[in-house]
Copies of this chain bind each other. A is one copy, B any other.
Amino acid sequence: MRSLTKKAFPQPSIRRLPGYLRLLRQFREEGWDRISCTRIASELDLDSTQVRKDLSLTGIAGKPRIGYDLESLIAAIESFLTWDKTTDAFLVGAGSLGRALIGYENFGNFGLRIIAAFDVSDNRIGVPIHGRPVYHLREMPRLASELGVTLGILTVPAGAAEEAAAVMVESGLLGIWNFAPAKLDLPASVAVENVELVSSFAVLALDLAKRHEQRAGAAERNPRTAGVQ
């Protein structure tokens, strides 16, 4: 663990680790016990040098002509990402996105467990979502301390984000997963990761415009077949 404070890991590599984990678990389910770097690279359409480098972050190395021991590699990635332990989280904002994330079963595969939700609307408070209690936001400082929760997921509208984040910080949370379309002004002691859905849509919208243009170009060149594809 000590090494975590010593060096920063390359973010793109970290972002690829869950994809490796998903693939490796799938291979394990299919009954394999070893896998080569080349195979991983080809399955995920990556360069095998890159794969070897990414996986070496976890402290494990493959053997020439044998590859990786599947079980050890899975355990190493899970341990590196702290997903060998369950992380309890609070969710703030019990609207549609919040409800969806609470019901999103895939998180369980990655050690994330949302144990309670918070809101400020009277009609939401006290009505459990997928079995999880919904409290008033003002209860968070007390409950965070009682339950030892240090991770929060923020799913409120933009206008409510700043105030909700302030309560999360006041509650002693050390990490915020921010789904609100707003930039949070947080103390440096709090880790934040923004999920920018609209930024992702911007990239897609531009790419989509390009495809439309290409299709229109093809139609100009060959009007008879362009509608077909």
Classify the interface of chain A: helix, strand, loop or mixed.
helix
Chain B nearest CB: distance from A148 CB in Å?
11
Question: How many copies of the chain does the oligomer comprise?
Answer: 2
Binds B, one of A33-41, A65-73, A97-105, A118-126: A97-105
Query: Is the CB of A16 closer than 8 A to any CB of chain B?
Result: yes
Contacts of A99 in B (CB 8 A): 96, 100
The reply to whether B18 and A196 form a contact with Cβ atoms under 8 Å apart is yes
The reply to whether A97 and B87 form a contact with Cβ atoms under 8 Å apart is no
The reply to whether B196 and A211 form a contact with Cβ atoms under 8 Å apart is no
**Residue-by-residue, is A179-222 near B (CB-CB < 8 Å gives 1, otherwise 0)?**
00111000001111101111111111111111111110100000
Contacts of A197 in B (CB 8 A): 106, 195
In the complex, chain A residues 1-40 whose Cβ is within 8 Å of any chain B Cβ: 1-2, 4-5, 9, 11, 14-19, 22
Chain B nearest CB: distance from A149 CB in Å?
11
How far apart are the CA atoms of A215 and B190 in the complex, in Å? Answer: 11
Within 8 Å by CB of A4, from B1, B87, B111, B210, lies B210
The reply to whether A211 and B189 form a contact with Cβ atoms under 8 Å apart is yes
Query: Is the CB of A229 closer than 8 A to any CB of chain B?
Result: yes
Within 8 Å by CB of A201, from B182, B193, B203, B229, lies B193
**Residue-by-residue, is A157-189 near B (CB-CB < 8 Å gives 1, otherwise 0)?**
110000000000000101101000111000001
The 6 closest A-B pairs by CB, nearest first: A100-B100, A191-B207, A193-B204, A175-B208, A15-B199, A96-B103
Task: Please name 16 further chain A to chain B contacts, defined as beta carbons within 8 Å, in addition to the given A14-B206, A17-B199, A191-B208, sorted by A numbering.
Answer: A4-B209, A5-B210, A15-B199, A15-B200, A22-B158, A44-B183, A45-B183, A81-B205, A81-B206, A96-B99, A96-B104, A99-B100, A106-B157, A107-B198, A172-B229, A189-B214
